Amino acid sequence: MNSAEDRNRASALTRFLRAELRDARFSMTRLAPANIELVSGADPTGTVTRLEETSEKKLDAQGIKALHQEGDWKQQRFRSNVSVKPLTRGVESTARLQDFERLLDDIGVLSEGHVAHALGSVLNARDGSTFLESDSPLKTIGVSETPELWGYLLVDACLATPRRTANKVLRWARGAPLAFETRVLLGRLDAASSFTLAGGLAVERLPRKSEDLDGSFPTGFGLALSDYLDRTLLRIPCKIAPVLSKATKITTQHDGTPATSWETSANIKSSWPLPPGGVLELSRALSLVCDVAVETPMIWTDYLDHAHFGRHLGFSNYSSSEPTPRTATGSTLTADDLKQALRLQPKFRNMPDSAETALRYWLKSKARRPDLADRLVFLRTALEALFLDRGNNAELAYRLATNGAWYTGRNPAGRRQRFDTLKELYGVASGAAHSGSAKKTAEKLLTDGQEICRLAILKRLRSGQEPVWKDIVFGR
């Protein structure tokens, strides 16, 4: 805000907010687990979960600020969801809202009492949409009426100051982005300590006490707040802009009856410091680098200081049904590991089919759930994808072992050892496929084969080409 005009607008909005907060009253409503009612319904499980509002209080601005300082705002849905909204008051409050609307109109973001925004789940929207692309952060855009935006700003002014809130609104209207985070709980990886890379990508070792958790953590569906303690969290900084823009009215005909809806015509852009492929591709790269099948039991959006009283959370993804047991940690995550995974991730865009199949089944062989026999069979499938030509079924074990040994071995002794490992592994895995069981002694063979497979996948990714086995074995 360099212009005198914008500074005057910020000062005017500050005065409106201060005047409203002097005698404003707010309704604070809590949704509590004790008030979850299960009733019969059309749901396939035969029950419907209904959350009922309880514990409604009326507080002034100081009461709201005190409530925030006490930490109640950290409570999450499915546990306890705190919602705060300003109460409609008399003539003076109505006049201030009208002054606010005139200011929005003056800066060019108001259309018939509606404002388009990218405030995600922090602001109720009359019309809105949410979508998540694989190579970009969550985009939640919508159109709200001015009382909803005014109410959000009043709560924000309670917790910050009216001046800071006013300046933020003017910066947003002039194109400043909204900052938030995509957060990923990493299973089977342990960061010895927290670290941050140059691009802002951060790994955090979460504390051991619930009261020390900073930010929002989704609960429910079998996941409690305690499940996050002492685990590894990936924090991805995200930005989206423009935050505020002019809404567009759309009129359509439905069965001869005109219907009106609102949308934004702004070109909403978002950015984050991950290569194309997103979180799931990064987890696959980390799996190869750290030699463990990395799990992502929870991916969610945290709107940080832009959201208040239980509205921090955006899109949540449950990619596995439960967090990894702490005793099953497979690898230590370091800053160098993450840097290596980021360099490797773009290779997935042009991954050969054989490497894609091999990686998928290698991950299955490294997963927690399968028994030894299944792991052996999964690994055999991965090795077949890497080291066998399609359509040639002759001498499978011998050709797989020979090709694998020449492809990954660095010297005659190493190739001989890998030949023996792969040939024996293929036989044991074939036996496991027929019998459905395997001896405990095959675990060492499985581990050695998984390492050969991992190295071969990495080599295939870096070369980006399918090998010509005759050239590799006999030379050119």
Q: 3-state SS string over 163-200?
A: HHHHHHHHHHHCCCCEEEEEEEEEECEEECCCEECCCC
What does residue 454 show for φ and ψ, rounded to 5 degrees?
-60, -45
Residue pair 51/36 in contact by the 8 Å Cβ criterion? yes
Based on the fold, state whether residues 131 and 215 are members of the same structural domain: yes
Number of structural domains in the chain: 2
**Residue 329 within a domain:** no
Q: From CA 446, how far away is CA 244, in angstroms rounded?
A: 56
The pLDDT tens digits for 83-138 are 777 887 788 899 999 999 999 999 999 999 999 998 876 776 667 776 666 667 77
Q: Is 128 helix (H, G, I), strand (E, B) or coil?
A: strand
**Residue 322 within a domain:** no
- Residue 15 is encoded by which pair of tokens? 């005065």
Based on the fold, state whether residues 105 and 185 are members of the same structural domain: yes
Q: Residue 13's domain spans which residues?
A: 4-317
Based on the fold, state whether residues 310 and 358 are members of the same structural domain: no
Contacts of residue 106, defined as CB under 8 A and 6 or more positions apart, other chains included, come to: 9
**Residue 386 within a domain:** yes
Residue 411's pLDDT band, with cuts at 50, 70 and 90, is very high
Q: How many CB atoms sit inside 10 A of residue 301's CB?
A: 27
Based on the fold, state whether residues 406 and 280 are members of the same structural domain: no
Residue 311: alpha-carbon gap to chain centroid: 16
**pLDDT for res 439:** 92
Task: Decide the pairing of beta strands 81-86 and 25-40.
Answer: antiparallel
**pLDDT for res 391:** 67
Based on the fold, state whether residues 83 and 227 are members of the same structural domain: yes
Q: Is 476 exposed, middle or buried (0-12, 13-18, 19+ CB in 10 A)?
A: exposed
Based on the fold, state whether residues 159 and 255 are members of the same structural domain: yes
What does residue 278 show for φ and ψ, rounded to 5 degrees?
75, -160
Based on the fold, state whether residues 297 and 369 are members of the same structural domain: no
**Predicted structure pTM score:** 0.85
- Measure CA of the first residue to CA of the last residue in the chain; give whole Å: 66
**Residue 80 within a domain:** yes
Average pLDDT over the chain reads: 85
Contacts of residue 151, defined as CB under 8 A and 6 or more positions apart, other chains included, come to: 85, 86
The pLDDT tens digits for 286-338 are 999 999 999 998 888 888 877 665 555 555 565 555 677 765 556 899 999 99
